[in-house]
Structure 1
């Protein structure tokens, strides 16, 4: 690969071609009047009418990026086609009209996509709509004024929609704007991070929603007093976040496989395009382009879109269990957020710059991200980025629920998926430290407390403590990312520590207080047979071992293998157990580290002879 794209081979023409392929493939699934697009597949949890609105609104957003940045015959045709759909969608006499925001909450989400698209295509679509259609669009979008929105990233749907309404002389509410901006401030965490609401919900929404929309809004509301007051603050947070986001991309472009709504796939490129739109200097244009194109390249190389040119619910191929309750066949097209860079003209620096390497391509990465409680380890030899988690569970400290697989596991990476089938919801099978009850069921950790996180002697370390508990879930709960409530059986607390360097994590565990009557088990990374190397080795007190094999457990492979180590008999309170946990594609990485405990410290000697000495937290029994 040469020219401006030595890493990915993708130039702006390739991005345009991919967008056009996706948009063209949706046409056969559109209604005759273009108002709805309902891709094939089982209806989502909100029904076919919502699915059709999602398909239209989300693809319109993608078309709008293209129309805004490229003046050609395809953009002209797209503008005409989507204008017809808009007119039909807001026609109250049309049996196939859009579900309205006052009729279903999901329409509030899609209203923002419609508003953003209309803003970007103002001269090509909005200005050419007849007055009756424009009035109907305003009436449709105005149902968000004063409407209830949950205190999560949804506040931005109301902000974006009302900002567009204001720009065309429609109704809007200063009180709504002030309220929603204040709610957004409540999400702010350290170093440019956001939690998606009051829970410890750290995931891709930080980038594809809580950084993306503020940048879009600053452009939509340019010159308005409130936007200009906030501009410097919002862009400083984006600047702080972007280098961390780039450090979480694997050398193959794989995004970190963690958090809900992963079926949006290359929407993970959105924060990098936000950086380009905002003129961020935290990453160079070549770094921004490399990260965004890498994410797209990852999926293009793995059969995305599918042979019909579609984005089914799934990750690479179709895999329905990845969906949340709110996901339908139109939902994956939020992936078009990852095409936002097409709104920038061909002579923009992000398109004329030469790609520059990702952090993991430049050398091994060891980084501490205190806001989500993550220890990040990327290895140049195999391109994998790993996250060891001591701060995220999509819950609250002290609240005992089941562990949500996409949030509460100890390990996430760009090369593995947690077990997402029913078995992985029932108990933590991968990347965990658990006590086993008399039936052999593993305890959960959600509700844990972060004790320490930092770096020393070339390694990153983190410690957390939580009440071991078992959950019999109440049936019929929706899946919006959080753990499940139910009948709780509580056990003793478990203190868990991680010392991370390169492909290895030294995982420490100590049972605090009495009450353990089963063994302590440490499980490793879930991998495909014959794929990446996953080992758990005994570094103290864990002689029992084996491998759990599960079919159809993740969207990455048909079969998943998970190595484990366990104590011989019931776990002993107050003693340290230790395991070496490896994930690598490099056969030379299998030599394990060693650990010794001395005077309140753990001293880890790594395979290359380097020693890291980490202070152990003081935790009293029964704390």
Structure 2
């Protein structure tokens, strides 16, 4: 990919300008179009197929790259004639080539990118189609309004289709109902501090920025209406979840979308609904883009399936060859033209250390020396129908901590940043998380240890947990309640090759290391520091963890007592 020369005057930290974003979009599109079908309805990119099949994967290649092309050409600048190709593909695809939109099917996901692309490029693509071609495209898109989405952010796919149809003068009661339904659900998913759960329950992840805020906020902006999705409040915390090197927090599913994580920052800058200055916003989005371009995310000009480079454990069963192109959402920044302050203001970098508690989602952000850690006492991704005792470990949601320089170990390896009980040889996992509060420098929660089918549940067994932080130090307190005789407790720390000790403060009697041979998205193989203890009944244990540093000398026992008074031992009303 050929990029312009860096501009270290306007952008002293990244060197990136709007021209770099345009060139990146063009480079990604040029590489992807080498794999277009003869009728241009599919982009059949190389790689492992998704569970939806190759025709759906080809549609995904068309739709997600179309989104990048649409943001790239939204001001009418199309020197490479991208829109001519997408118009031809649309005509062929909606004439019967594309798979039909069905209940909870991948084509429904892709219909939103097609619809948003058409809305952004309406004068140069849609308006040049014949009436019959428009009718066929509408007929295919409208099926998104008539089929059942997955019970989460998917409701904004028919929402986005409906918004396009209304912008094209084809709105009706069906489109109005699709939009109203999604916004009613979104209101019910709001948990505070600018964060939505991705559906019922408590699933907090990057879908907040690249779906739940993006689709309705962008629709409002394009219509000239006020934004009502708490975007500005969300960005007050979300902007901290990037490292000094540009890495987003490695947390939640679909991380192969990579720099799509920057889309909410870009959207805030474009719409003005942001607490960040234009120069700060540009640094965050450009630093994130540069992070991935510099770390092997491209193979032959194509976004590969992984994080830095290919990485199987980063993927989900629905990930296919074109899945990474949801990264196209970051190009929403190009809706700001060359004269917009996002591109004309001098780039600003913020290196301020900060700790921020978010009681709504039950998260604690710890930013120190360019690394951000996210302490998780509220996000579990357990669907309501799964109940309290879902037994499958989910490394992307169940761990106590995540960061911008580490990834969790895989489900088949020892768990990092975890507390587990071992009873008769069975090791517990953490699934449904019950927040107990977050304030100042701490967050707390409790959970029932869940074992596999061979180990019956122990009545009354639970673990109460608190994380409290000072600078780069993490005090981790765990109270085991109702442990039967012969119970072993295991606490693990950070999975990384950085010096990251885990040191006993109270109750731990064993010290060791566990090996994770499958490694993480950051390291091919890692060792995980571990503390152990034999417990019975109710026992409180505490340890100090550090990521990439050393444990400071302090009266940690006194700090344990202080935090317990504020949290687990605090009087309840």
Who is 2:99 aligned against?
A: 99
Distance 1:391 1:324 in 2: 22
Does residue 50 (structure 1) correspond to residue 9 (structure 2)? The answer is: no
2:84 to 75, 80, 86: 80
Residue 375 of structure 2 is aligned to residue 391 of structure 1: no
User: What is the Cα deviation at residue 260 of structure 1?
Assistant: 0.5
Q: Deviations over 1:388-418 (max 9, x none)?
A: 1111111269712233110110010001000
Shift of 1:320: 2.3
TM-score, normalised to structure 1, is: 0.86
Query: For 1:161 and 1:220, how far apart are their aligned partners in 2?
Result: 14
Partner of 2:277: 284
Structure 1 residues 396 and 515: CA distance shift in structure 2, 3 A: farther
> Is 1:435 aligned to residue 459 of structure 2?
no
Contact 1:602 1:613 in 2 (8 A): yes
Q: 1:247 aligns with which of 240, 243, 251?
A: 240
Matched residue, 2:502: 536
Alpha-carbon distance change, 393 to 406 in structure 1, aligned in 2, over 3 angstroms: same
When normalised by structure 2's length, the TM-score is: 0.93
Task: Quote the offset at 1:422 in angstroms.
Answer: 2.6
Aligned to 2:267: 274
Q: Show the 5 A alignment for 1:292-331.
A: 292-306=285-299, 308-331=300-323
CA distance in 2, matches of 1:202, 1:467: 20
1:615 aligns with one of 544, 561, 566: 566
- SS of 1:500's partner is strand
Task: Please say if residues 494 and 509 of structure 1, whose CA atoms lie closer than 8 Å, have aligned partners that are also in contact.
Answer: yes
Judge which range, 508-517 or 190-199, deviates more: 508-517
Which 5+ residue runs of structure 2 have no aligned equivalent?
Answer: 1-6
Residue 495 (structure 2) pairs with residue 526 (structure 1): yes
Q: Alpha-carbon deviations, 1:552-600, whole Å to 9, x = none?
A: 2322221121111111xx214333211111102x5xx4435442259xx
* 1:497 counterpart residue number: 466
Q: Deviations over 1:423-463 (max 9, x none)?
A: 36xxxx11011112232x431122232223212xxxx1122
Question: What CA distance in whole angstroms lies between the structure 1 residues aligned with 2:10 and 2:409?
Answer: 39
Distance in 1 of aligned mates of 2:422 and 2:554: 26
| Map of 2:367 onto structure 1 | 378
Cα distance in 1, alignment partners of residues 493 and 408 from structure 2? 10
* Equivalent position of 1:608 in the other structure: none
CA contact (8 A) 1:151 1:183 kept: no
Question: Residue 618 of structure 1: CA displacement?
Answer: 3.4
Find 1:602's aligned residue among 532, 538, 561. Answer: 561
Instruction: Measure how far apart 1:146 and its partner are.
Output: 3.1
Cα–Cα, structure 1 residues 593 and 324, in superposed 2: closer, same or farther, change >3 Å?
A: farther
- Aligned equivalents of 2:515, 2:203: Cα separation in 1: 29
Deviation, 1:117, is 0.4
Query: What corresponds to 1:335 in structure 2?
Result: 327
Match of 2:15 in 1: 9
In structure 2, distance between residues paired with 1:80 and 1:70: 12
Instruction: Indicate if the aligned counterparts of 1:215 and 1:277 stay in contact, CA closer than 8 A.
Output: no
Q: Does 1:582 align with 2:546?
A: yes
The aligned residue for residue 32 of structure 2 is 26
Aligned to 1:609: none
Tell me how far 1:52 sits from its aligned partner. Answer: 0.3
Using the alignment, how far apart are the partners of 1:323 and 1:153 within structure 2?
A: 19
CA distance in 2, matches of 1:564, 1:461: 22
C-alpha distance in 1, partners of 2:564/2:462?
Answer: 25
Given that residues 483 and 537 in structure 2 are in contact (C-alpha distance below 8 angstroms), is that contact kept between their aligned partners in structure 1? Answer: yes
Contact 1:388/1:498 (8 A) holds in 2: yes
Match of 1:365 in 2: 354
1:277-327: CA deviation from partner (whole Å, max 9, x where unpaired): 211241111111111112111111212222x01112111101123221211
Instruction: Select 1:200's aligned residue among 194, 199, 202.
Output: 202
Aligned residues: 559
SS of corresponding position for 1:51: helix
Moved more, 170-179 or 514-523: 170-179
1:176 aligns with 2:162: no
Give, in whole Å, the separation in 2 of the partners of 1:450 and 1:37: 44
1:163 and 1:220 in contact (8 A); partners too: no
Contact 1:59 1:333 in 2 (8 A): yes
**Which residue matches 2:446?**
465
Please give the root-mean-square deviation of Cα atoms over the aligned residues, in Å.
2.1
CA shift, 1:16, in A, is 1.2
